[in-house]
A and B are shown apart, each in its own frame.
Chain A
Amino acid sequence: MTGERPFELVLLELVLLVLLGPLVTGIIQKLKARLQCRQGAGILQPYRDLAKLLRKGTVQADTASGFFHSIPVLVLAATVAAGALVPVLRAGAPAFALGDALMLLGLLALARFLTAVGAFDAGGAFGGMGASREMTIAPLVEPVLMMVVFSTAIAAGTTELGALAAHRGTSWIFAWRAADFLGFAAMLVLLPAETGRIPVDNPDTHLELTMLHEGMLLEHSGPGLGCMLLASHTRQIVTLALVATLFFPIAADGALAVDLLLGAGAFAAKILVLAIFLALVESSYAKLRLFRVPQYLGIGFVCAFTALALRIL
């Protein structure tokens, strides 16, 4: 272990990710609004929503059990813990063993599993419907995502994300090989699915025919809903950071404050580019029918598998 990232840096990165998560959502919403010739809410709107929810009281379904109350806590903790595993400001393995890409995907899966379990508790049909759809898409996304991770991990010989980023170095797109392009294409296909956006899911809707993730949040309210929303924002920025780590590694690797600032700037630029991509896709496509989604994910599977085959053969 090289230990380029001390504990304080990992903690700083974690706090940064959680704080910036809602901002990314705000930017995407604003961009979408502008693309649709609307004024749209300000980019700070998600923060205002969170602050409002945290001030409110809680209304809980009378059928809900004791689990329901702790679901938001567990989901938020699992999602934020996943955030501790992606390098933000600097590449390189952390100074202490924590987790790797598989752990990150595992923690996100844990958050999703708990959300789905919580959706059952209110005893309404919408929660179960949302959980059913989300848990149908998730197992199809997960193997493809893992194959994309493997396609870069096999070249680097490790699944530790910081080490992966360090191995790739600052080689920009010019040093990419065919496998990288295919892996990136697969990742772009998966990105809307993993962040719950069109064409797989629609975050703006509360119509029962189209809800996936939102359906599971319907019965949460007040601070609990605030936690769930914060978890969604964090999940989105963590996924974007994962893409950035795997395909556009971190810019600076010095230890000075300037380098860290440079790293932060590079990170912001990368996240912004990916956010613009998401906004563009969301504004230019319609949501797919649920049973077309597996075919859509099939494109990702083929790309990822070809990328892996090119790496191994």
Chain B
Amino acid sequence: MDVYWSPNLIAACYAAGALSALLARWSGRLALTVGHLAALAGAIAGIGVALDVLLGEPGRTLTQPLPDLFPFAQLTLAVDGLSAFFVLVISIVAVAAAIYGPAYLRAHTPNAGPTRQAAQAFALNLFLGCMVFVCCAGDALSFLLCWEGMTLASYVLVVSDDRDGENARAGLLYMVMTHGGTALLLVAFLCLTERAGSFDFAGLRAAAAELDATTRTTLFFLALGGFATKAGVIPLHVWLPRAHPAAPSHVSALMSGVMLKVAIYGILRFGFDLLAPVAGPLPASWGWTVLVAGTISAVLGVLYALQQHDLKRLLAFHSVENIGIILIGVGLAMILWRRDDTGGVLATVALTAALLHTVNHAAFKGLLFLGAGSVLCRTHVRNMEELGGLARRMPWTAGLFLLGAVAISALPPLNGFVSEWLTFQALLGGAGRLHGPAGLVIVFSAAMLALTGGLAATCFAKAFGVTFLGRARTPHAEHATEAPTAMLVGMVWLAVLCVGLGVAPGYAMRLLDAPTAGLLQGPGASAVVTAHGPLVLSTAPTPGATAISMTMVAALLIALMAVAWVLRRGWRHSPVRSAPTWTCGMRPTARFDYTATAFAKPLRLVFAALYRPRRAVSRETAGTAYVLSRIHYAGEVVDLSETQIYHRVQRGITVLARTIRLRSTGRIHGYIGFVLGALFLALLLFGVGQK
């Protein structure tokens, strides 16, 4: 075991960072800076540990016992390929967030008191540490402890930014929803630990091998419910678009880019490892549920994102979409795993696609949130209708945001395209393998994925165009200046990853070998996807399989751009004349710029059945009906799962509470009667169960 890169080092860095909050006694700024530096060190240590495991000998698991804190359980860390991969993803974004954070907090909230700064430094380090150690946990207890720590620390960060009521409500909803999810996880874990008699994963695995099919599936769905709540799968996503934008932007980047992935880690760990049958394929219901839930999340997530005009909220909805895309890959891998030889290769392709999209999404969503943060800290406006024209004032931020937008819209030659291409290939291969209705569902899912990609491009044409191009719509946007260098450095780091993973994805496949081979006990990612050399991506190791080369396409694009540049200059090389835009003879103002609401209107009408758009227009006329003095427009779309599910549940609870209140008379013997009745009922139920 390499002594230098051990999880202890990560823990030490994050612990030091958390303790640096104490420095706030002297200076809040010092606490913030030291806290973020420690987080940066922790992130680098995390990358070191992850690469050590991923590039080391295959199949190695780094195990390490933890000090005995509890008499009833031995806590351990176990870093295998899957854990190391997720630690790597977390650490990559953590590097950017740690570089970006101090400058952002100083620029965004210059008047923050030392208490708040101390809390932010403490919670950020705790959050990062807990995320890393959820993935490294080798037993159920440390998993759950870190999971809870992750939730609590992120809650503190969500409510730390502003003290207004909306943030508090978002935080409360977040707490309620994730604790509901954690309760499901707790049940699943406790069922297993009770049977195993121990908390460590090896014991749980052995206990799970004895389970009958029904219990196994029930436990999987409990765990899936818990993880899906954290991942923001529709319809369990309602907290996500509220909580993520409320946090400081670098924390939003971490929550959207990384925290959701910890839930994906959980689904993979439970589905392919802890609960998987010893031999034979996974129960069909698992994979299909995940695939269908992923498809619905992808399509609805992007559709709702399209109608958001709050930049950070729009990005948060896109996280729902991308989690859906990841789950499509995961679900397909679950369906195809251990079916037969071809199915095995396809399962590897599907899981590779999912894992690659995990790291890709972390990179571009992190980049986009940081970009939105730069805009926010310079303009203090999140509504894109009040922005505009920022590309001339913040050219670096605009360019980096555009790069992220191209990547997230799954357009070549950037990284989003690569993972979606692999997902498409896996879906197509799966459809070819599973004939009949199953194949049709898979193809339909592929068509929905195509729709998702197209809608994402529309959404980001809107987000980028309205925010950064045209004229400044308000003085906030007019007086914006470029973000501080430290923030740009954080963004450039993620942008480099987006380009690198897009242009030469073959080199990253080596890192996916350990998780894919370890989970699926089959060929590793690079044996399948880069069988024809690192510059070529293919879908099967056999010759004749579909193969593309992102590197070649990027080179072709650059060559063609050089040719097009010559054409663009024209034959005369006459200088560019500048003139006002033609606005039908009126004086051009920012009112002529197309708004985000107007841009999204055609799709709002096309998908009216989903959006149920409402609008209210009130006109004030001056004297005659033909002269308008004021016009007020208000429009909104509803989130169907909110109105159809949550509001109904809420109404049900209210009705129930009212009924109970009628019975609650305040007389003590009435209550004693209720308690006795409940006791009797419980005894009856469990007595029947015992027999």
Q: In the complex, which of the residues B450, B469, B583 contacts A146, with contact meaning CB atoms closer than 8 Å? A: B450
B579 and A61 contacting across the interface, CB-CB below 8 Å:
yes
Residues on B with C-beta less than 8 A from A163 are 544, 546
A313 at the interface (CB under 8 A from B): yes
Give A103 to B554 CA distance when docked, in angstroms: 12
> How would residues 56 to 99 of chain A score, 1 for a CB under 8 Å from any chain B CB and 0 otherwise?
11111111011101001110111011001000000000001111
A185: Cβ under 8 A from any B Cβ = no
User: A97 contacts B567, CB within 8 Å?
Assistant: no
A135-B458 contact given A106-B417, A110-B411, CB 8 Å threshold: yes
Report yes or no: B544 in contact with A123, Cβ–Cβ below 8 A: no
Residues of A near B532 (CB, < 8 A) are 1, 97
Residues of B within 8 A of A146 (CB): 424, 446-447, 450
* CB contact under 8 A between A291 and B446, given known A98-B552, A109-B453, A143-B454: no
Please, which residues of chain B bring their CB within 8 A of the CB of A39? none
Whether B546 pairs with A100 at a CB distance below 8 angstroms is yes
Say whether A128 contacts B599, CB under 8 Å. yes
CB proximity of A139 to chain B, nearest CB, Å: 3
**CB of B536 closer than 8 Å to a CB of A:** yes
Whether A227 and B567, one on each chain, are in contact in the complex, defined by CB atoms closer than 8 angstroms, is yes
The CA of A221 and the CA of B450, in the complex, are separated in Å by 33
Instruction: Please give the distance in Å from A119's CB to the nearest CB on chain B.
Output: 7
**What B residues does A139 contact at CB under 8 A?**
451, 453-455, 457-458, 603
Check if B675 is an interface residue, CB within 8 A of chain A. Answer: no
- Tell me, in angstroms, the Cα distance from A34 to B417 when the chains sit together: 44
B386 to chain A, nearest CB (A): 15
* A97, B561: Cβ atoms closer than 8 Å: no
The distance in angstroms between the C-alpha atoms of A159 and B561, with both chains bound, is 26
- Beyond A60-B578, A222-B570, whether A131 also contacts B599 by CB under 8 A is yes
Q: A74: which B residues are within 8 A, CB to CB?
A: 561, 564
Given contacts A66-B395, A113-B409, A124-B582, contact A57 B454 (CB under 8 A): no
Taking a contact as CB atoms under 8 Å apart, the answer to whether B455 and A159 are in contact is no
Q: Measured between C-beta atoms, what is the minimum distance from B147 to chain A in Å? A: 37
15 new A-B contacts, CB < 8 A, other than A132-B601, A313-B440, are A55-B570, A58-B574, A59-B579, A60-B577, A65-B469, A66-B391, A67-B398, A73-B564, A81-B560, A98-B548, A110-B411, A139-B455, A147-B443, A222-B574, A227-B564
Q: Mark A286-301, 1 if CB is under 8 A from B, else 0.
A: 0000110010000000
Please count how many residues in chain A sit with their CB below 8 Å of the partner chain's CB atoms. Answer: 87
- In the bound complex, residues from chain B placing their C-beta under 8 Å from that of A153 are 428
How many angstroms between the C-alpha atoms of A132 and B606 in the bound complex?
13
A77 partner residues in chain B, CB cutoff 8 A? 557, 560-561, 563-564
Q: Is A138 an interface residue (CB 8 A)?
A: yes
Q: Kindly list chain A residues whose C-beta atoms are within 8 Å of the C-beta of B469.
A: 65, 67, 117, 120-121, 123
Q: Is the CB of B406 within 8 A of A67?
A: no
In the assembled complex, the Cα of A126 lies from the Cα of B244 at a distance in Å of 35
User: Count the B residues whose beta carbon is within 8 Å of the partner chain — how many?
Assistant: 96
Expressed in whole angstroms, the minimum distance between the Cβ of A157 and any Cβ of chain B is: 6
Residue of chain B at shortest CB distance from A83:
B560
User: Which chain B residues border A60 with CB–CB below 8 Å?
Assistant: 576-579
Contact of B548 among A103, A132, A143 (CB under 8 A): A103
Is B450 a contact of A142 with CB atoms below 8 Å? yes
The stretch of B162-170, B429-437, B615-623 that contacts the partner chain: B429-437
B635 within 8 A of A: no
Which of B406, B457, B603 has the most C-beta atoms of chain A within 10 angstroms of its own C-beta? B457
Inter-chain contact A65/B468, CB cutoff 8 Å: yes
Is A160 part of the contact surface with B, judged by Cβ < 8 Å?
Answer: yes
Cα(A133)–Cα(B603), bound, Å: 9
A283 adjacent to chain B (CB < 8 Å): no
What is the minimal beta-carbon distance from B463 to any residue of chain A, in angstroms? 10
Residue of A nearest to B553 (CB): A99
Find chain B residues with CB under 8 A from A16 CB.
Answer: none
Contact B412 A98 (CB under 8 A): no
